[in-house]
Chains A and B, each alone.
Chain A
Amino acid sequence: MPLLQYIRLIDIMARMGLRADATRFFLGYVWWVLEPLLWVGVLYVVFVTIMGTREPDFLMFLATGKLMFVWFSKSVVQASNSIVSGKGLVGKINVPKTLFPMAVVQEGIYRQAAVFVMLSIILLSNGYSMTATWWYLVPLMIVNYVVIVACAFLAACLVCLARDFAQLISLGMLFLLFTSGIFWDVRTLDPEKMKMVLDGNPMAFLLDAYRQIMMHNTSPDMFHLLTIGAGFGALLSVMVLFMRHRSQYLALRALTA
């Protein structure tokens, strides 16, 4: 399949998916804005009203972490089932199998764009300001995207090989939700533990980098960021090669298992 056709198809499949999603709900596209707002509302009730956090920054801290984490978790979880649930098409046409997770990831980009705008508005209306440091968001988001695509491909293949992986993936997301410093600050850990978490969990590093840029006007550790990008870039290349060479095998698994 020519590259241009491939890219067009991803975009069209993503837009169609979004439109279908919107028509399923009474509130349609309003959910794009409503969902992040509700998340912030939930965090407010739990952490400010019930637990009585005094720090004024804490709600913004939670919102930034949670809303950027959702980009990763939603994309990967939805992509994990994409080849298997596309088996109607898989059994009809010999299409590149990467098309299915890519379309889901693309859907996630459109959705996350709305979430990101909402998050920025929330931050700016709470006294934070947009500075030149925000340009660091560009490489950060590119690396975040590479991480998402690599994990989406891996998850989609694993679920193809054995449906059991779908269970493990959702459990893994819950694990990441609690270990990536979304509800607690990595920077309050003692230095040794902090290094361990940031080095061991790329998601913790990425979320911390978003907060450093958007809340504290501090640039992230670029070397660390590029290392993550290179590592997941390598994983992505391996996945692309595997999915190309074992396209028929994945089809067989999707159709029969």
Chain B
Amino acid sequence: MSEHKPIVLELNEVSLSYHAGGKAFDHGRHHVLQDVSMKLYEKETLGIIGRNGVGKTTLLRVMAGILAPTKGRVRMESGKSASLLTLGLGFKPDLSGRDNALLAAMLQGSTQKQAISFLNDIKAFSELGDSFNEPVKKYSAGMRSRLAFTTALMTHVDVLLIDEILSVGDAHFRGKALAAMQGRITGDQTVVFVSHMADQVEKMCDRVIWLENGKIVAEGDAKEVTSAYTESVALASKPAIEHQAE
């Protein structure tokens, strides 16, 4: 079905490696992505699944133009913007939640006026109350993730790149966040959704890419790819469990 829709973002044999220094891997060169080719179609929700440390976040950063590939090409439809939502916080801990939200909105292209107009919504949705005006360093981990999620939710971009964002916060807020996110996803938004949790990906995505050691292992229908991934994870952890049982 996706084949008929226009392509928003295309990666052509993208590799990314860097000198990690020291004696890691091949003479200190660390290969994060290797020959990754993929297409992102308009208005679809693409899932990227894989274990921790296989290059999922780096792939998103390449898509968002934050990092440039060492080899290969990234082509974004002109005039489109992509933004990365992540809980790896870009917060300045000394600033209040309010200042951080304002800064984040402006950095993503909102004018000061627009950014200020978001603030009340952000305060209300994040349920931070008076803490909204307190420095972020005084926040609990849950409060931080609520602020991060809400700030991200309020920004409007063409391609939304979501990195493991629904895995934190208390049950009540997680439910609310999930509902808000699904509202976005079922709408006209193009979304790339990254997670290591198969059930979340299966529930939310039309198409899934499975990433392993910087390479695409499988690509296709959400159900097929996630079940293959779940099997492989179960298989990999089996010997360890048997070992424990002995």
Contact = CB atoms under 8 A, between A and B. Distances in A.
B90 A92 contact: yes
B79 interface: no
Interface string B63-76: 01111100000000
Interface residues of B, number: 30
Interface stretch (B92-100, B192-200, B206-214, B221-229): B92-100
B106 A9 contact: yes
Interface string A1-26: 10001001100110011011101100
A200 interface: no
A49 interface: no
Contact of B90 (A16, A17, A24, A93): A93
B21 A248 contact: no
B232 interface: no
Interface in B32-82: 61, 64-68
B102 A20 contact: no
Interface in A83-108: 88-95
A232 B105 CA distance: 34
Interface stretch (B107-115, B177-185, B236-244): B107-115
Given A20-B92, A88-B88, A88-B89, A94 B66 contact: yes
Interface in A18-40: 19-21, 23-24
B135 A20 contact: yes
Interface residues of A, number: 28
Contact of B107 (A19, A89, A249): A89
B112 A12 contact: yes
A12 B84 contact: no
B66 A90 contact: yes
Contacts of B90: 88-89, 91-93
Given A8-B112, A23-B135, A13 B103 contact: yes
A131 interface: no
Contact of B66 (A12, A16, A19, A93): A93
B16 to A, nearest CB: 8
A5 B89 CA distance: 23
A13 B106 CA distance: 10
Contacts, number: 75
A89 B20 CA distance: 21
Best-surrounded residue of A19, A95, A252 (most CB of chain B within 10 A): A252
A92 B106 contact: no
Contacts of B30: 256
Interface in A31-89: 88-89
A198 interface: no
Contacts of B67: 248, 251-252, 255
Given A16-B95, A93-B90, 16 more contacts: A5-B106, A5-B111, A8-B112, A12-B103, A19-B95, A20-B135, A21-B94, A88-B90, A91-B90, A92-B86, A92-B88, A93-B83, A248-B66, A248-B67, A251-B61, A255-B67
27 contacts: A12-B103, A12-B112, A13-B103, A16-B92, A16-B95, A16-B103, A20-B92, A20-B135, A23-B135, A88-B88, A88-B89, A89-B90, A89-B107, A91-B90, A92-B66, A93-B64, A93-B66, A93-B83, A93-B84, A93-B90, A94-B66, A249-B68, A252-B18, A252-B67, A256-B18, A256-B20, A257-B21
